[in-house]
Amino acid sequence: MEEQGRLLPPPGEPRRQELGEILQQIMGITEQSLDEAQAKKHALNCHRLKPALFTVLCEIKEKTGLSVRSSQEEEPVDPQLMRLDNMLLAEGVAGPEKGGGSAAAAAAAAASGGVSPDHSIEHSDYRHKLAQIRQIYHAELEKYEQACSEFTTHVMNLLREQSRTRPVAPREIERMVGIIHRKFSSIQMQLKQSTCEAVMILRSRFLDARRKRRNFSKQATEVLNEYFYSHLSNPYPSEEAKEELAKKCGITISQVSNWFGNKRIRYKKNIGKFQEEANIYAVKTAVSVTHGTQSGGDSPPTPSSSAGSGGSFNLSSSSDLFLGLPGLNGDAYPPSQVESLRHSMSQGPYGEGLAPGQLYSPRDMRANGGWQEAATPCSVTSPTEGPGSVHSDTSN
């Protein structure tokens, strides 16, 4: 107290001396005992020149400390973070909460339940898992948010406290806060990253069509096979034909395309495996052509007429194999259009069918890799391009 009195402005005294005195006291603080230092500190704090001095010190510090700060200025927005945010938003993870996990799942199930039963089951499961992820995500996010704010407050309090005894510029506080926020954002980004990964895994697990594949109905495969074997020489349904088939089978056009793609490749790969099937459908087609009844019949028709499925397309590589070593593998021959042959083949699995295979000469269909090239010569009786057969299929 008395110090303050002594430090009071002696009117005529030059300021310089006063300042020098103060600075000396400051310098001397470290050499004094704790109590003394505390007392002096307090005294200095209350000195009337203190604010001015403090400002000066802050300015100096600001100027000298600039080098550090300039390095990391505010980056606008991290594109990576943007992407993550967008994805989380799109997936409904970051969006507005729609209630607790089970509730959301139940709502989803209820919402889609009536329309598409097939869809709803997996979907509700998916939604349930997604809701779990969202819950965790939000909880973690909130935790980080809170921790960040707490920490920031703490640091700011600390700095404010210290600002009474050491020069702390407002910008420094600002910078500190920025650093803290950046640190916490990077943590949040990791959280978002992990969440994104989890969602992606969930998606691939539930939404990937391959994982919830269902076989087509018996009837659908029937229809498809019928078309395939009746157009064996050129099993490439047109757009309209695909449409008809899709409608008839209750599947999509792309599913029809998939089916034909798979069928072609698999048939070509191992004709022997399909010979029996080819036979059945060839006969069916024959019956249907002759009798006009082609739809639906499950029962294997008796081989009667000669409307076999005609020459198949060519296999590029396996034809050689087939010619060279007929009995080696499943490679056999395309289904025959000869009745006797069909007859002999029809009674057994493909093992027995192999024997007649040697009788059959695959002359037409080798050498050219294309499917369609072989079509013409082989198809003796096949209703390949007969509009009638196609039409009859489609009409029914």
Partner DNA sequence: TTAAATGATTACGG
Partner DNA sequence: CCGTAATCATTTAA
Q: Which residues bind DNA (CB under 7 A)?
A: 205, 208-216, 221, 236, 239, 251, 254-255, 257-262, 264-266, 268, 273, 316, 371
CA-to-CA distance for 176 and 169, rounded, in angstroms?
11
Minimum CB distance to DNA smaller for 174 or for 240 = 240
- We find the least distance from the C-beta atom of residue 286 to DNA, in angstroms, to be 22
- We find the least distance from the C-beta atom of residue 194 to DNA, in angstroms, to be 21
Minimum CB distance to DNA smaller for 234 or for 389 = 234
- We find the least distance from the C-beta atom of residue 201 to DNA, in angstroms, to be 11
Minimum CB distance to DNA smaller for 268 or for 342 = 268
103 half-sphere exposure, CB direction, 13 A CA radius: 6
Burial of 123 from C-beta contacts in 10 A (0-12 / 13-18 / 19+): buried
50 half-sphere exposure, CB direction, 13 A CA radius: 18
- We find the least distance from the C-beta atom of residue 277 to DNA, in angstroms, to be 8
Least Cα distance to 363 among 376, 377, 380 occurs for 377
Least Cα distance to 131 among 160, 165, 106 occurs for 106
- We find the least distance from the C-beta atom of residue 336 to DNA, in angstroms, to be 21
Minimum CB distance to DNA smaller for 297 or for 349 = 349
Distances (CA, A) of 40 to 1, 20, 22, 100, 256: 10, 15, 10, 60, 91
- We find the least distance from the C-beta atom of residue 264 to DNA, in angstroms, to be 4
Minimum CB distance to DNA smaller for 137 or for 259 = 259
Non-local CB neighbours of 222 within 8 Å, separated by 6+ positions:
296, 298
- Sign of the CA dihedral running 186, 188, 191, 192: negative
- We find the least distance from the C-beta atom of residue 302 to DNA, in angstroms, to be 23
Look up tokens 């994982």; give the residue.
211
CA-to-CA distance for 15 and 283, rounded, in angstroms?
119
Minimum CB distance to DNA smaller for 104 or for 272 = 272
Q: What is the DSSP letter of 186?
A: H
Minimum CB distance to DNA smaller for 137 or for 335 = 335
Least Cα distance to 163 among 155, 303, 254, 81 occurs for 155
- We find the least distance from the C-beta atom of residue 362 to DNA, in angstroms, to be 17
The answer to whether the beta carbons of residues 224 and 251 sit under 8 Å apart is no
CA-to-CA distance for 66 and 109, rounded, in angstroms?
59
Minimum CB distance to DNA smaller for 30 or for 215 = 215
